[in-house]
Amino acid sequence: MNSQQFISLGWRPFLFGLCIAVQGVVLSTASPAFSNCNDRMPCMESLKDEMQNLGSIYVIAQNQQESTLFNNNNIYGVLNSPSNPTQFSLSKTTRLTYFMNYHWNSGRGQAPGTMWLTHQDGTTYGPWQATTEPGQGGVPNAYWIVRPNVILKAGNYTIGDSHPSSWAHNQQSGSRGMSVLKGIATSTPAGNGNTGAIDCSQYQGMERILCEHEVNGDNYRP
């Protein structure tokens, strides 16, 4: 972790002040790294060393940019009921921040349902209840949107939609349902079961604290 990453840790600098105020007495119980934290500079160096060690656990999402993971949406006329599965691949572990399926439905839109992802090994992420935004010309419920903020492992995925008969597609999309997914490449801890939730119980001390704050969104906003 470089100095810029260390400075850009959001709420984490608060821990420096806390550490200085109590002179390491309280924080020494959170991690062995603080057991000799008896004055200002050793305390700060101990916390810095502890946070640098986290580099092997995960990369702070703030220091990375959201990018498009998949997008077969286009401006051409569409039909309903795609005949081919909508699939995409991830080369690395990624935090899914945005997921959209397009339901033009001949200008009528479609009341929102659920969306999900299925990994090649059978693991399912979701289903998530969608919210909607109007489409071209003010068509209601055209864009089904979820913001899952879950960790996806690398591999091949198939996109699921609870109302495929109104899911838009065309020749340009390869007769696959139109979708857009965005996310942030990361190396966060492994997911828990089929929910994509991060399991912080495998860590101790400061590693546990920082993991739990990451999961609770203290360091990330989609």
Q: What is the pLDDT of residue 186?
A: 85
Q: How far is CA 216 from CA 79, 198, 211, 221, in A?
A: 40, 10, 9, 10
Half-sphere exposure of 137 (CA within 13 A, CB side): 7
Q: Which of 101, 92, 93 is nearest to 169 (CA)?
A: 101
Q: How far is CA 132 from CA 104, 112, 143, 172, in A?
A: 12, 7, 5, 24
Using DSSP, state whether 41 is helix, strand or coil: helix
Q: CB neighbours (10 Å) of residue 35?
A: 12
Q: What is the pLDDT of residue 207?
A: 59
Residue at 134 is within a domain: yes
Q: How far is Cα of residue 96 from the mean position of the Cα atoms in its chain?
A: 4
155 and 201 together in one domain: no
Q: What is the pLDDT of residue 105?
A: 97
Q: How far apart are the first and last CA of the chain?
A: 22
Q: What is the pLDDT of residue 62?
A: 46
pLDDT tens, position by position, for the chain (222 residues)?
Answer: 544 444 444 545 455 454 445 444 444 444 454 455 555 555 556 555 555 555 444 444 344 689 999 999 999 999 999 999 999 999 999 999 999 999 999 999 999 999 999 999 999 999 999 999 999 899 999 999 999 999 999 999 999 999 999 999 999 999 999 999 999 998 644 444 444 455 566 555 665 666 666 555 444 333
Q: Which residues, in sequence order, are bridge partners of residue 99?
A: 146, 181
73 and 162 together in one domain: yes
86 and 118 together in one domain: yes
Q: What is the pLDDT of residue 187?
A: 61
70 and 163 together in one domain: yes
Q: What is the pLDDT of residue 43?
A: 54
Residue at 160 is within a domain: yes
CA-to-CA distance for 70 and 184, rounded, in angstroms?
A: 12
Residue at 90 is within a domain: yes
Q: What is the pLDDT of residue 212?
A: 63
* Alpha-helical runs (H) found in 169-204: none
90 and 150 together in one domain: yes
Residue at 221 is within a domain: no
Q: What is the pLDDT of residue 37?
A: 52
Cβ atoms of residues 66 and 37 within 8 Å: no
* Phi-psi group of 115: left, alpha or beta (phi > 0 → left; psi -120 to 50 → alpha; rest → beta): beta
* CATH number for the domain that contains residue 73: 2.60.120
Structural domain count, the chain: 2
88 and 27 together in one domain: no
Residue with the two structure tokens 């700060």: 44
33 and 100 together in one domain: no
CA-to-CA distance for 168 and 116, rounded, in angstroms?
A: 16
- The amino acid at 40: R
129 and 206 together in one domain: no
47 and 101 together in one domain: no
pTM of the model: 0.60
111 and 150 together in one domain: yes
Residue 170: give the domain boundaries. Answer: 65-185
Residue at 87 is within a domain: yes
72 and 180 together in one domain: yes
107 and 167 together in one domain: yes
